[in-house]
Amino acid sequence: MRLSRAFLPTLKETPAEAQIASHRLMLRAGMIRQTSAGIYAWLPLGLRVLRNIERIVREEQDRAGAQEILMPTIQPAELWRESGRYDDYGKEMLRIRDRHDREMLFGPTNEEMVTDLFKSFAKSYRDLPRSLYHIQWKFRDEVRPRFGVMRGREFLMKDAYSFDLTPEGARHSYHQMFVAYLRTFARMGLKAIPMRADTGPIGGDLSHEFIILAETGESQVFLHRDLLDYDPLSEAPDYNSDLSPQVEFWTRRYAATEDLHDEAAWNAVPEAERVSARGIEVGHIFYFGTKYSKAMGLQVSGPDGAMVTPEMGSYGVGVSRLVAAAIEANHDENGIKWPDAIAPFKLAILNLKVGDAACDALCEQILAAFPDDAVYDDRGERAGVKFADADLLGYPWQVVVGPRGAAAGKVELKRRATGEREELSLEDALQKLRG
């Protein structure tokens, strides 16, 4: 992608309304633009990150055996009357009347709709277990939306729903998602810790939040050091096996948000193992039994012919929120430091002297080697502007091509995360970037 022809607008000044680092950086980097309070358009750079995150979420949901569907954004109010949540939900629900004066709403979540959907197809125990998920825009009419896409009104969420014949089956489905979430966030280069959570308005008796650690996080969290050191990608899970041992590794060690913090239990953790940090919630999973299946009349015939009300759980990942959370966890005073797996482009090619034949030729060669993964800064701007923009936008690698080096066939490679630089021949640089 050539910057001279791209729609990747950066801002020199930070808009006054942005209070947190990710919001400031996303606006300055031209990733998003607010179109109404708490509602954003995603510009090309931001959209690429959003799609990378979405792809990882999807791959890990598929791997865990969940099946993708897509429910609409607009839901009928009747569904929410059946569950009793239509009145409970309050003003956060965006209520709508269509041209025939029918009561509709912009879905904030989908327990009701997926239960109704599943009901129309599942007839027998042979149709269970199933986990269904979708990745769709949701709306929550926050009274004071702020912090950019961290707490927007229209936001992209992955929500999955499990249907099981028995509580034991439902617990296994819960464990599958628990493990899938650990892998999902780890693949994004993020350290996420599951913490026991309140179930809130979803209901149920088992729930975990997944919290990304970030110095600028929204809330205080407390955890055992073991949980920081473990790498969820160190082994590939067999989702058909009993996943209790993996889950127990996480749940038997102390980990709590401020809300559920228990001083006595905390003090029982050896002092050297205690980690107190800031965190951002990016996922939330719930097991709530028959709360929705019962209210909405979902039943299947069991192996013995008797009707059974399936056990359900729901599992959310804040896809658009993760873009901001990843920045909170990966930035410095100069800008964003994207983890490789979610970076909008893998590298930026900085041509310090556009028009110099050697510089231009070298840059074109690099661009040709990474046609989809490189941004080529071919603008007629000063070197300082190009350096600052590349640091701000946070591409994992910068390839700096200046006239002196280019004459000798050399480029400078900079790793954004560490600041390390080295001068390399074009060949060695390409090999390193491929590796």
Give residues in contact with its own copies (CB under 8 A). Answer: 5-7, 9, 30, 33, 35-37, 39-44, 47, 50, 65, 67-76, 91-92, 94, 96, 98-99, 102, 104, 106, 113, 116-117, 120-121, 130, 132, 137, 139, 141, 143, 153-154
Rounded to whole angstroms, what are the CA distances from 50 to 37, 146, 177, 280, 416? 20, 19, 21, 17, 20
Please, what is the minimum distance in Å from the beta carbon of residue 130 to its own copies?
5
Q: HSE, CB side, 13 Å, CA atoms: give it for residue 417.
A: 11
Which DSSP helix (H) or strand (E) runs through 162?
Answer: strand 154-164
Q: For its own copies, give the closer residue by CB, 89 or 230.
A: 89
Tokens of 323: 């873009």
Q: Compute the least distance from the CB of residue 229 to its own copies, in Å.
A: 34
Q: Of 116 and 281, which has the nearer Cβ to its own copies?
A: 116
Nearer to its own copies, 73 or 241 (CB): 73
Give min distance, CB of 196 to its own copies, in A: 30
- Give min distance, CB of 218 to its own copies, in A: 22
CA distance 295 to 435: 54
Grouping H, G, I as helix, E, B as strand and the rest as coil, residue 176 is: helix
Minimum gap (Å) between residue 73 Cβ and its own copies: 6
Nearer to its own copies, 136 or 216 (CB): 136
DSSP annotation of 48: H
**Other C-beta atoms lying within 10 Å of the C-beta of residue 244:** 12
Q: Which of 267, 270, 69, 257 is nearest to 161 (CA)?
A: 69
To its own copies, the closest distance from the beta carbon of 264 in angstroms equals 41
In the bound complex, what is the minimum distance in angstroms from residue 208's beta carbon to its own copies?
Answer: 25
When the beta carbons of 137 and 404 are compared against its own copies, the nearer one is: 137
Rama region for 409: left / alpha / beta (φ>0; ψ in -120 to 50; rest): left
* Between 13 and 121, CB nearer to its own copies: 121
Closest distance between its own copies and the C-beta of residue 124, in Å?
A: 12
Question: Least distance to its own copies from the beta carbon of 151, Å?
Answer: 15
Nearer to its own copies by C-beta: 99 or 434? 99
For 312-360, the DSSP string reads EEEEEEEHHHHHHHHHHHSEETTEE---GGG-SSSEEEEESSTT-HHHH
Amino acid at 2: R
> Closest approach of Cβ 110 to its own copies, in Å?
9
Q: Is 230 left (phi over 0), alpha (psi -120 to 50) or beta?
A: beta
Dihedral angle, C-alpha 120, 125, 128, 134, nearest 10 °: 10
Shortest CB 265 distance to its own copies, Å: 39
The CA-atom distances, in angstroms, between 120 and each of 109, 115, 158, 426 are: 19, 9, 22, 60
Residue 143 has phi, psi (to 5 degrees) of -70, -40
Closest by Cα among 225, 224, 69, 79 to 158: 69
> Is residue 372 helix, strand or coil?
coil
User: Quick one: 77 or 269, whose CB is closer to its own copies?
Assistant: 77
Pairing of strands 255-257, 307-308: unpaired
Query: 3-class SS at 414?
Result: strand
Judged by beta carbon, residue 194 or residue 318, the one nearer its own copies is 318
Which CB atom, from 88 or from 205, has the smaller least distance to its own copies?
88
- Please tell me the distance from the alpha carbon of residue 251 to that of residue 393, in angstroms, as a whole number: 37
Q: Where are the beta strands (DSSP E) in 170-228?
A: 192-196, 206-213, 219-224
Nearest CB to its own copies, comparing residues 144 and 434: 144
